[in-house]
Structure 1
Amino acid sequence: MRYVQVTVTFPPSVRHPMHAFLDDGDGWRTEMVTWRRLPDETLATLFRVAAPREPYLERLRAVDTIERFETAPGDPPFYLKAYERLGGPLEAFLGAFADTELISVPPLVYRSGGRLSFGLIGPPDQLRDALASMPDRIEVEIGRIGSYAGGRRLAGVEVTERQREVVRAARRVGYYEVPRTGSVGDVADAVGCSSSTAGTHLRKAESALVDAFLSA
């Protein structure tokens, strides 16, 4: 099975109000866990929301397209079930994947700056056609292509390719062995950079991965 990780960026002109809300706080994000398009053209969704509960719900109540919603009790992150009328950019985005065999790998992760990250499984030709048919204002970036091996893919983890390279090198030289058999200097030599730069890459990647793991 072919797997691809995709990040799309919605410009402010077509960004959903609740997606734009995530710009108000550092590290706020929402994850669409599952969804269903109903016969009446309503989209039923289940979200995991990592943002302040009351401000988020207050903004949600002001969104005209939201028909109704309900939440599970508890502090952030909390779960939200919402019903929304389809139309506009949301309809156009979903329409790109209509009548295809593509299957999304949840969660779909919404982050600040209009970014949405998700994984897809399906025929490469259908994927190319789906991405090409998205509205021009939506930017598309392919992050990873390969075979799907199962498990939960952390689509929203912000790790750069250089950080991935450094983490892979760290594993090769024994930096993550217990007891540790490789140093930051060994990692730096393996990727051709200074020890301080290698250390910075490692800390940033580890921070992103730990945050995603604890939020899962």
Structure 2
Amino acid sequence: MRYVRVEFTFPPAVRHPMHDFLDEGDGWRTELLTWRRLPDETLVTLFRVVAPRERYLERLRTVEPIDRFETAPGDEAFYLKAYERLGGPLEAFLGAFEDTEFLSVPPVVYRSGGRLSFGLIGPPNQLRDALSAIPEPIEVTIERVGSYGGGRRLAGVGLTERQRAALRAARRVGYYDVPRTGSVADVAAAVESSPSTAGAHLRKAEAALVDAYLDE
């Protein structure tokens, strides 16, 4: 089975209000565990939320498309079941995958900066069409392509936010071009750190990615 991990970046104009909320705290995130459509087109979702519960729910009550919700406690987080009416770019985003054979590998992880990432299993020949149907101005980044070996690990290699930022900057400045056109110093300038710190982030991230790939 072919596996691809994709990250999408939603600019503020098309970002869900609760996704926007994650910018207010360090390390806050939500994980979409499962979902389904009801006959009336309502989207029912189950989230694991890593954020202050009362602040999150206070904001959630102001989101008009949310019809109702219920919560349950969890370890260092809480669980949220919500009923929502979607529309616009978010509706089109979900629709890009509806007529394909792709299956999502949970969790679907929402982070600060409008980032959303998840894994997909499906035919490689359908990937281009699915991603081309993603509405603008949502940005698409393919983070990984390979064979699916099962388990939660492939749904997200354990990188820190600083390591991910260093990898993104490295790709952007040409550090991974062949031949290489960017340096560690360029990466350091992009992430506002010293070259030694940027180099350490890159080495640790690369080691984690290699280990994950070879353990498939």
CA distance in 2, matches of 1:19, 1:81: 16
Q: Which runs of 5+ in 2 are unaligned?
A: 168-194, 209-216
| Structure 2 counterparts to residues 46-195 of structure 1, below 5 A | 46-74=46-74, 76-152=76-152, 153-155=154-156, 157-158=158-159, 159-160=163-164
- Secondary structure of the 1:72 match is strand
CA distance in 1, matches of 2:24, 2:67: 24
Contact 1:66 1:84 in 2 (8 A): yes
CA distance in 2, matches of 1:36, 1:145: 26
- After superposition, the Cα gap between the structure-2 partners of 1:75 and 1:121, relative to the gap in structure 1 and judged at 3 Å, is closer
- After superposition, the Cα gap between the structure-2 partners of 1:71 and 1:144, relative to the gap in structure 1 and judged at 3 Å, is same
Contact 1:92 1:134 in 2 (8 A): yes
The answer for the alignment partner of 2:42 in structure 1 is: 42
1:198 shift after superposition: 5.5
The answer for the alignment partner of 2:189 in structure 1 is: none
- Secondary structure of the 2:117 match is strand
Per mean C-alpha deviation after superposition, the further-off stretch among 135-144 and 70-79 is 70-79
CA distance in 2, matches of 1:35, 1:134: 19
C-alpha RMSD of matched pairs (Å): 2.5
Contact 2:103 2:120 in 1 (8 A): yes
Contact 2:105 2:155 in 1 (8 A): no
1:113 aligned partner, one-letter code = G
1:86 shift after superposition: 2.0
- Secondary structure of the 2:56 match is helix
Per mean C-alpha deviation after superposition, the further-off stretch among 114-123 and 70-79 is 70-79
1:76 shift after superposition: 3.9
The answer for the alignment partner of 2:21 in structure 1 is: 21
CA distance in 1, matches of 2:15, 2:204: 32
CA distance in 1, matches of 2:149, 2:124: 17
After TM superposition, the score normalised by the length of structure 1 is 0.74
Per mean C-alpha deviation after superposition, the further-off stretch among 78-87 and 198-207 is 198-207
CA distance in 2, matches of 1:197, 1:16: 32
Contact 1:12 1:114 in 2 (8 A): yes
Contact 1:109 1:156 in 2 (8 A): no
1:6 shift after superposition: 0.2
Aligned-pair identity in percent equals 69
CA distance in 1, matches of 2:145, 2:73: 38
CA distance in 2, matches of 1:196, 1:26: 20
After TM superposition, the score normalised by the length of structure 2 is 0.74
Q: Between Structure 1 and Structure 2, how many residues are aligned?
A: 177
The answer for the alignment partner of 1:9 in structure 2 is: 9
Contact 1:11 1:114 in 2 (8 A): yes
Kindly provide the CA deviation profile for residues 156-178 of structure 1, in whole angstroms up to 9, marking residues without a partner as x.
Answer: 75444977xxxxxxxxxxxxxxx
Q: Which runs of 5+ in 1 are unaligned?
A: 164-193, 208-216
